[in-house]
C-alpha cells in the first residue's frame, strides 16, 4: 500500500476509533455490558466496511482513473445500503443493545466520511501525472 493510501486510511480510522471508544464508554454507562458490546460491534462494522471500500476505491483510481467518481458514488451508496441491511437484520437481537449499536454505527459513519473528506482536502495528490523529463515522443 503506498504511503499516501496508508495515510488517508489512517486519518479516517483514528477519529472513527476514538468516537467508537467514547461511544463504548457512554453505552456501557447507559446500557451496561450489552451496550458496550453493541458500540464496539458498531465501530468495528464501520471501520471494516469503510476501510475495505476505501481500499477498493484507491485501487480503482490507480487502474481506471476515469471511473473514480462514478465508482466512489456507487461504493458509498452501496455501503450505506449494506449498513441499513445490517441494521434491519440485527434489529431483534438480544446479544447486544441494538440502540447502542445503531447510534454508534451512525456516529462512526459520519465521523469516517468527515475525516476522509478532510484527509482528501489536505492531501497533496497529483491529479495529472507529470511528464518524464528527458524522454522524446
Q: What is the pLDDT of residues 54-83, one digit of tens each?
A: 888 888 877 887 777 888 888 888 888 888
Q: For residues 21 and 39, what is the distance between their CA atoms, to the nearest angstrom?
A: 8
C-alpha cell at 120: 482528501
Model-level pTM greater than 0.85?
Answer: no
Indicate the angle between helix axes 3-31 and 98-122, nearest 10 degrees. 150
**CA 67/CA 59 separation, integer angstroms:** 11
26 band by pLDDT with thresholds 50, 70 and 90:
very high
pLDDT level of residue 103 (50, 70, 90 thresholds):
very high
Amino acid at each position: 500500500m503506498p504511503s499516501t493510501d496508508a495515510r488517508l486510511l489512517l486519518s479516517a480510522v483514528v477519529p472513527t476509533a476514538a468516537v467508537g471508544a467514547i461511544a463504548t464508554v457512554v453505552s456501557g454507562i447507559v446500557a451496561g455490558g450489552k451496550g458496550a458490546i453493541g458500540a464496539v460491534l458498531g465501530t468495528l462494522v464501520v471501520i471494516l466496511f469503510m476501510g475495505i471500500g476505501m481500499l477498493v476505491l484507491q485501487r480503482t483510481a490507480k487502474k481506471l482513473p476515469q471511473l473514480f467518481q462514478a465508482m466512489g458514488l456507487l461504493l458509498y451508496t452501496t455501503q450505506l445500503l449494506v449498513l441499513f441491511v445490517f441494521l434491519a437484520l440485527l434489529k431483534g437481537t438480544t446479544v447486544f443493545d441494538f440502540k447502542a449499536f445503531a447510534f454508534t454505527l451512525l456516529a462512526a459513519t459520519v465521523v469516517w466520511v468527515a475525516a476522509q473528506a478532510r484527509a482528501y482536502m489536505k492531501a497533496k495528490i497529483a491529479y495529472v501525472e507529470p511528464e518524464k523529463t528527458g524522454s522524446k515522443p
